[in-house]
Structure formats: C-alpha cells, structure tokens
Amino acid sequence: MEFTVKKNEILKELGYVQGVVEKKNTIPILSNLLLEAAGSNLTIMATDLDVSIRCSCPAKVKSSGALTVSARKVFDIVRSLPDESEISFKLADKEWMAVSSGPSRFKVVGMHKDNFPVIPEYSGRKWTVPGEVFRNMVSRTIFAITQEESRYSLNGALLVVNADGLRLVTTDGHRLAYIEKRLKVEGLEGEFRVLVPRKTLAELAKLAGDPNRMVQFAKDENHLYFHVDGRYMVSRQLAGQFPNYEMVIPKDNDKKLLLETEGFAEAIRRAAIMADERSHGIKLSLSEGQLVVTSSTSDLGEARESVQISYDGQPMEVGFNAQYLLDFLGVAFDKQVSFQLKDDETQGLLQPATEEDYQYSYVVMPMKL
C-alpha cells in the first residue's frame, strides 16, 4: 500500500473519526484506524464496537492495500505538519507504516487489518432530514443525559420518528429535555422509537455540523445508520426501557413567569457563587412583582439577586440546582423564557417563550433546601 494525500483533506476526516476511537484502550486494535487505499480514495474507519464510522478523502494511490495504525499518532502527525503539505503513506516491513512529508519522516507500528472489526453495512431504505435539525436537537438535549454508566437506558436519548417529524428526549432522572421538530419525513410509515447512545449523538452533531448538509438515516433491529455527505456512521441501539417521560411533563403548574433569558441566567450565575459546591442549590422566592434568587453556605456566606417580573400570584419558595437551570438557559435561543411552577415539590417547566421552529421543553425537579 502506498498513497499520497493533502494534509487539509485527510485532517478534516481524521477529526471526524477521532471522537469514535475507543479511549479506554481495553482492546488494543480499537485505538487504531483502518486505512484502506484503493482507486483514487483513502478510506478511514474507526470503531469502539458500539459506534463505527467511515470517512474518505481523495488520494493518489500508487498501490492499493490496507493497514491499521494508531489513531492518536496518525492524527498528531498529520496535525503537526505544515498546512498545504502533501503526506505520503507507505506500508513498510513488518506492518509498519512509513509516513513522510517534506523533511519529516515517521514510522508508525501497525496491526494487520484482519483483526479490525467489520463495520455493519446497510443498503436498504433511508429517510432524509436536514443536518441542521439533528444538530440543533442534539445540542439542546445532550447535556441532560446521565453521566452514570450504571443507568444504562438513560445513557442515551429516546428518538421518536414518525411522518410528522422527529422528537428527542433525554433525562438523568433529575431533569428532562424534550425537543420536537415538525417536518415531513418522506416515505416513513407509522412510527419508530429507538435509544441512541450519547456518543452517537455527539458524533452525529459534528457530522451534521456544516450548514446545508443532509442526514440520511435508517434503522434495523439493533443498529442505526447515518449517511452524511459521503460519511457513514453506524451505531448500536441501547437496550432497555426509557422511562415514561410524558408522565413527568407537568400539566397544571399554575404559577407562570416570563423571564428575560440572559438577565435570569446572570442572576443565577451570581447567586450560585455562594451555593453549596456539591449540590449547586439555589432558592427562588416568588412574590408580587419580584423573583429573588438566593444561596448560602454556612461556612462561606450568602448571595441575593432580585429580578423584576410581572407576577401577582401566591408567594412561594422553591430550590433548584443552579447548573440545571443554566444548562437550559444556555441553549434556549430565545430572548425570553417561560417558567411554570406549582410548589416546592413539583417539577418546574421551562420553555423558550416565542420560538416556533421547535417545540422545546425542559422539566426540572426541585431540590430540598
């Protein structure tokens, strides 16, 4: 195998595959990329057995072939070379890969491609959705996915697709993000629901990053398939039961606030400075015309912020994790948000006040203070 590629062209693809490469290093070959040169293309593949990706870039192929090499080292080498340089790869003895460009020479230890897992293929029916829709939906829900690996079925998002649109739901058991986009999904009959791993969502958002890209996707029993602009990603679906999220979206929260997104976020950020560092707990005190945000830690001090609001209901107090509120306000993408509350035990409902493109809701459980 011998081929030459342009730095900028291969670097872009290496950037996409890097996120998929297994970080934990339990099976050595999973830290490698599979490079395949044939025709006028270099194909780059990576997998962690749950998520696999295949990208390609133009290459001048002198002789075709394949080898796996350390993803990290190839990425670091390519990144370090001058822009616009041409980089040559050549299979040397004993499965070494010689990499050279101008005066720079590297030899990277490789492993035979036969041990590299086979990436599942799909060639059936696909549906098409603008990439921007996926990216938007992912960025506004991914933060609410649980970080605890033991809560397996919460370790991803619920994706519901039907002829009327897409819905993505995430939760960590304390808060829940729900976003829906109405659009025609051509050729889809009925509805399907799948659990998508967090990593898949994060990588999908990257692939769908450029404007005007379209995402083609499909599913079978165990896998999800995504084609974006010549790149191909396969993901295992998560098994398990997603909790009954509809049940926890509050319907009769009678205390409704309209808040300036940035002003509210600023007040929380400042109040949170004195909050307990573990719980991030802040107190919201609601009274006529005013919302007061306070926090205190017995051995450090306290903070108080007030926000003018139009409110004439009953006074009430409720505690929240400041970070949970800020997570939402950071991606509300609206000048104003509505915040619906009931009492200090019932989940609050946050929504952008005027946005029409998406139905976006965020449910957050209070905290006992």
Partner 1 sequence: MDMDAFYASVEQRDRPELQGKPVIVGADPKQGRGRGVVAACSYEARRFGVRSALPISKAYRLCPQGIYLPVRMERYVEVSHRIMSLLGEYTDLVEPLSIDEAFLDVTGSLRPYGTVEALARSIKQRVREQEQLAASVGAAPNKFIAKIASDLQKPDGLVIVPPEAVLAFLHPLPIGKLWGVGPKAEAHLKELGIEKIGDLARLRREEMDRRFGKHGQHLWELAHGIDDRPVVTEHEIKSVGHETTFERDTGDLALLRETLLSLSEQVGVRLRRHGLKGRAVSVKLRYQDFTTFTRQVTLAEPTAAAARIHSHARELLDKFPHSPLEKKVRLIGVSVGHLEERQKGLFEKQEDKEEKIEGAVDRVQEKFGPGSLRRASHLKDSPEKAR
Contact residues: partner 1, CB under 8 A:
24-26, 150-151, 171, 173-176, 243-244, 248, 276, 278-281, 319, 321, 345, 347, 363, 365-369
Residue 57 near residue 84, CB atoms below 8 Å: no
Helices in the chain by DSSP H: which ranges? 7-18, 71-80, 131-139, 198-207, 261-271, 322-329
Give least dist CB 364 to partner 1, A. Answer: 9
Nearer to partner 1, 141 or 261 (CB): 141
Give residues with Cβ within 8 angstroms of 105, minimum separation 6: 98, 99
Token pair in block for residue 265 = 């976020």
CB-wise, 171 or 295, nearer to partner 1?
171
Distance CA 354, CA 337 (A): 8
Nearer to partner 1, 217 or 242 (CB): 242
Query: Which residue number, 281 or 352, has a Cβ lying nearer to partner 1?
Result: 281
CA 104 – CA 197 distance, rounded (Å): 40
* Nearer CB in complex with partner 1: 26/212: 26
Please identify, using beta-carbon distances, which residue of 110 and 348 lies nearer to partner 1.
348
The answer to whether the CB of 206 falls within 8 A of the CB of 153 is no
CA–CA gap between residue 152 and residue 10 (Å, rounded): 35
Q: Which two tokens stand for residue 55?
A: 């990208």
Q: How far is the CB of 238 from partner 1 (least distance, A)?
A: 15
Measured distance CA(285)–CA(193) in Å, rounded: 40
DSSP state of 13: H
Q: Which residues of 8-39 are buried (b: 16+ CB within 10 A; e: fewer)?
A: eebbebbebbbbbbbeeeeeebbbbbbbbbbe
In the complex, the smallest distance separating the C-beta of residue 368 from partner 1, rounded to whole angstroms, is: 4
SS3 155: coil
Specify the residue for token string 């394949």.
66
Task: Report yes or no: 29 and 115 within 8 Å, Cβ to Cβ.
Answer: yes
Closer CB to partner 1, 171 or 200, in the complex? 171
Tell me if 321 sits within 8 A of 279, measured CB to CB. Answer: yes
Instruction: Mark out the alpha helices in 42-161 (DSSP H runs).
Output: 71-80, 131-139
Q: Which two tokens stand for residue 335?
A: 């000048």
- 3-state secondary structure (DSSP) of residue 244: coil
Nearer to partner 1, 118 or 247 (CB): 247
Q: Looking at beta carbons only, is 95 or 344 nearer to partner 1?
A: 344
